[in-house]
Amino acid sequence: MTEEYKNEVIEILDNLGKQLDISESQYNEAVKSYEAVGDWLSKEGSPLYPYKPRILPQGSFMLGTIIKPISDEDDIDIDLVCKLNGKPTNWTQKHLKDAVGDRLKDHSTYREMIEDKDGGRRCWTLEYSDNANYHMDILPSISDQNFTVLLSESFNNSEHIDTNNLAIRITDKEEYNYTTETDTEWWKKCNPFGYAKWFYQRAIYSSTKMFALTESVDPVRPFQKEKMPLQLAIQLLKRHRDIMFSSDEFDSENRPISIIITTLAARAYDKSENIVDAYVNIVSKMRGFIETKLNQKTGLYERWVTNPINDEENFADKWGNVPQKEEFFYRWLDKLEEDLETIKYSQGVGLHRLNESFSAQYGDKVVNKAFAAYGEKNRILRESGLRKMASGTGVLGSVGTSIPNHNFEGNV
């Protein structure tokens, strides 16, 4: 692949990432919404007030890897943690879960937005209006009194903070002690913020990008306009999955889950500074980070995708009980590797071939917009005499013969 052609593909994929990402206005509206929920839960007079409840983003919203759904009619899923500093000594998981839910129901607006009046397995879900196009899953949890200080220190002094100190204890209806255990040490442990620390350490590819480690994980951070290559690669991977498993051929319930995709991609990332090299190398190496381990209890070998901050947790633990999950994951990886070859094949035959291939992989609408943005930029450069074509290659760039003005349609 020539450097000129690679630069074209990089620019198109960067544009595609912008189309897949939520907009700045959507992001800011979501932040405003979850901060309002936090204000209500922590307001003086709330039964939760003594424990300083705080709403924090987790998952793809915090990692900068969230993507829009394929259909404009579908909701964006925003995962949040409701973190309390301590609890009454007699509270069980059920008491905590009910206390958060009851406080939400005390608000006339939130009461009508709760999807399941009894709450889900772990979370309370707020369904926002059709105009907002998102819902929020709020996970009640308990943290150490010093959690906020530790979180700040962790991302400003990344080498010296034990991620175990960022763990929280959560509610889970399927736990045997959900209604009985009052000691949080026996509650289920979760560590989305320790995972975020690990992820951003993997994502940063140069010392000049260190700002991302502190700014991108700040719970009240601004919208991240420029994605790092790992973030963009994961957005592309998730969209490729969504398109592939939107087919009637597949049971979408068993499609590859985002935490496995994100973990394998982060492990495979080689610090490449452009999206083409990052994406190609990630896809070629992902399967190598799926381990096979012997289960001492069953005597059977199992596939493992190890949690990077808890080597006793297997993100692929359901593959053994639902073989279709493993089958679908490997079928998806096979298709990814096959589709990436189209980037090479499209060189020298025109961008329309690449457009067709990307449309099949990521969807017509977002791909056409990405190519249109690329075409518009080319038009402006041509009119200013800055867009040239390299002799003998037909590749656009800044070196070669100036291209005369002509009409260019970015979606052909």
pLDDT reported for residue 394:
46
283 and 360, same domain (yes or no): yes
Q: Does residue 3 contact residue 399 with C-beta atoms inside 8 Å?
A: no
Boundary of a domain, candidates 169, 184, 218: 218
Q: Please report the sign of the dihedral spanned by the C-alpha atoms of residue 202, residue 207, residue 212, residue 213.
A: positive
What local confidence, expressed as pLDDT, does residue 45 receive?
A: 93
| H or E element that contains 276 | helix 275-285
- Which CATH number does the domain housing residue 56 bear? 3.30.460.10
Q: Are residues 13 and 38 located together in one domain of the fold?
A: no
Rounded CA-CA distance 38/123 in Å is 15
Q: How many of the other CB atoms lie within 10 Å of CB of 51?
A: 22
Bridge partners (DSSP) of residue 402 are 388
Question: What angle is formed at CA 81 by the lines to CA 310 and CA 64, rounded to 5 degrees?
Answer: 75
Please check whether residues 11 and 29 belong to one and the same domain.
no
CA 319 vs CA 249, 296, 316, 326: distances in Å:
19, 17, 6, 5
Q: Say what the pLDDT of residue 406 is.
A: 43
Distances (CA, A) of 201 to 177, 249, 281, 374: 36, 38, 18, 31
Instruction: Looking at the structure, tell me whether residues 206 and 125 fall in a common domain.
Output: yes
Domain check: are 190 and 141 in the same one? yes
> Given this model, what pLDDT does residue 343 score?
82
- What span, in angstroms and rounded, lies between the C-alpha atoms of 125 and 128? 10
Do 111 and 157 share a domain, yes or no? yes
Three-class secondary structure of residue 406 per DSSP: coil
The predicted structure's pLDDT at residue 299: 84
Question: Structural domain of residue 323, as residue ranges?
Answer: 1-21+227-412
- Residue 144 main-chain phi, psi, to 5 deg: -65, 150
Report the SS3 class of residue 274. coil
Are residues 200 and 269 part of one domain?
A: no
Q: What is the mean pLDDT of each run of 10 residues along the chain (412 residues)?
A: 88 95 92 95 95 93 94 90 95 97 96 93 92 90 66 54 82 96 94 91 73 48 86 97 93 94 98 95 96 87 94 93 96 95 77 90 95 86 60 46 45 35
Whether the full predicted model's pTM is greater than 0.85, yes or no, is: yes
What's the pLDDT tens digit per position in 64-80?
999 999 988 888 999 99
Cβ atoms of residues 254 and 324 within 8 Å:
yes
Q: Tell me the C-alpha distance between 61 and 79, whole Å.
A: 7
Q: How many domains does the chain have?
A: 2
317: helix, strand or coil: coil
Residue identified by tokens 């074209």 is 8
Neighbouring residues of 36: CB distance < 8 A, sequence distance ≥ 6 = none
Contact 38, 52 (CB under 8 A): no
pLDDT value at residue 215: 45
Answer yes or no: do 196 and 124 share one domain.
Answer: yes
Instruction: Kindly write down the DSSP assignment for every residue of 377-401, as one continuous string.
Output: HHHHHHHTT--EE-TTT--EESSSE
183 and 314 co-located in one domain: no
| 132 and 272 assigned to the same domain | no
User: What pLDDT was estimated at residue 381?
Assistant: 66
Q: Examine the fold and report which residue of 218, 249, 278 is the final residue of a domain before the chain moves on.
A: 218
Q: Where among 161, 187, 218 does a domain terminate?
A: 218
Who's near 216: CB < 8 A, 6+ residues apart?
64, 200, 224
Same domain, 147 and 255: no
Cβ atoms of 104 and 80 within 8 Å: the answer is no
Same-domain check for residues 213 and 233 = no
Q: List Cα–Cα distances, 241 to 29, 234, 258, 336, in angstroms.
A: 27, 10, 9, 9
The amino acid present at 221, given as its one-letter code, is R
